[in-house]
Structure 1
Amino acid sequence: MKANFEDLCVKDKILVSLKRLLNEWNQELDDVTEAEKRTAKGKSMVATFKQCARYLNPLFKFRRKKVLPDNIRQALLLVVECYLKRNYLAGMNHYIKMAIGNAPWPIGVTMVGIHECSACEKIYTNNVAHVMNDRQLASICNQSKD
């Protein structure tokens, strides 16, 4: 974490940025008094931090094992770059595009008559519009749990 950020490879930039963010967040929580941590708001802040750290552990394991897929790595790099530029709105948009994508979602009634509308066939295409809908990633996740 002491190396020049620009000299790091893409994988290390993601790892260092997220670890730095977690460390800063942890330091902020350490500065909070014990009385404030016992309040409902304080308990919620601590619980949110612990949950976030726990949810990021698989990502750090993927990085250490060098099995992080390229599409996820590139999407995370976009999010991290936006975060470093303090462009949080663009970072959030990149994250949402990575997580849920822009594929049409079958919400509500899809077939109301005899004929199917032209938009209905787009709903059932096999094109993956986001990186989280990946069978290879699911198999890697299942292997890491064992």
Structure 2
Amino acid sequence: MPEIRSIVREQVVHTSPDAPLTDVAQLMDDEQVGSVVVVEDDRPQGIVTDRDITISAVARGEDPEAKTAADVMSEDLVTVEADSGIFDVLRTMEESNVRRIPATDSDGTLAGIVTFDDFVVLLGREFKLLSDVVEAKIPPYEHA
């Protein structure tokens, strides 16, 4: 079974736990991402999503300049090892109800991140390969 390492994004947008929430939001905007991994000593501690910022700060009338990444991050962070199988990671994501999951090396340091979108792209590529095989064995479609 292929390992998650084959699709993991090694360039992870990350921040420290004490980063002001406004800086985290600006980082998301600058990097065009919907989440930032909170890292301390090269180990993932949590994740902040654009939804976390919206719900935990803005919707509740809190001052986002007075909050930090640690204040709103998901503390029950689910991670997988970068050598995990793709289906195991999908199962973990489904069971944990998450759309993005940091991958770690065997020593627990951040190795990358994989998202639901990455799996959609992978599946699309696999379907394309399958359709190429099928189309090679059937007569061409004729359009009227």
* Coarse TM-score class (shorter-chain normalised): under 0.3
TM normalised by structure 1 equals: 0.23
Structure having the larger proportion of residues in helix: 1
Structure with more contact order per residue of length (Cα contacts < 8 Å, sep ≥ 6):
2
Q: Which structure: larger Rg?
A: 1
